[in-house]
Amino acid sequence: MGVTVFTEEELEYLASQRLGRLATMQNNGSLQNNPVVYWYNAELQTIDIGGRAMATTQKFRNVRANGKASFVVDDIVSRRPWRVRGIEIRGLAEALVDQPVPPDLEFLSPELIRIHPARLFTWGIDEEHLAMVRRSVEAGAGAR
């Protein structure tokens, strides 16, 4: 496949969580942010986001209209000492219909939002990088 979008540590972290927050931009320029269920699409190296009736949602319409999205997964590891970790994924988003969903998420509708990562921000995912680390993803790394 060539270029790898996510590190092994990032993939392990994403697999350990089930809920993230998707931010999209509405036609009037205002932002919308919603909790969503997601999974990693290993074949495409994308983040796929589902819902019970995804095609009827404002976030789906927003992505269909402009393709802009930012997705965050984070949590608190400990309070004393204070340690948080997370990942923000920015990239091109698609609103897709008639898509398969993972077997353990059969309650989801067949529509999804797919994010092709372009820019990643991570913090606390590995012991060497407790502060924020930023990097760009090579163009086409997750695209076919």
Q: Look at residue 2 in the predicted model and tell me its pLDDT.
A: 62
Nearest to 19 by CA among 41, 37, 46, 33: 37
Tell me the pLDDT of the chain (144 aa) as tens digits.
467 899 999 999 999 999 999 999 999 999 999 999 999 999 999 999 999 999 999 999 999 999 999 999 999 999 999 899 999 999 999 999 999 999 999 999 999 999 999 999 999 998 787 788 999 997 555 443
> Residue 34 has what pLDDT?
96
Beta bridge partners of 68: 92
Q: How far apart are CA 122 and CA 134, in angstroms?
A: 7
* CATH code of the region 8-136: 2.30.110.10
AA letter at 106: E
Distances from the Cα of 53 to the Cα of 41, 58, 101, 107, 121, angstroms: 20, 11, 13, 10, 29
According to the model, what pLDDT value does residue 3 have? 76
The pLDDT, as a whole number, for residue 50 is 97
Q: Where are the domains of the chain?
A: 8-136
Q: Among positive and negative, which fits the CA dihedral 114, 104, 88, 6?
A: negative
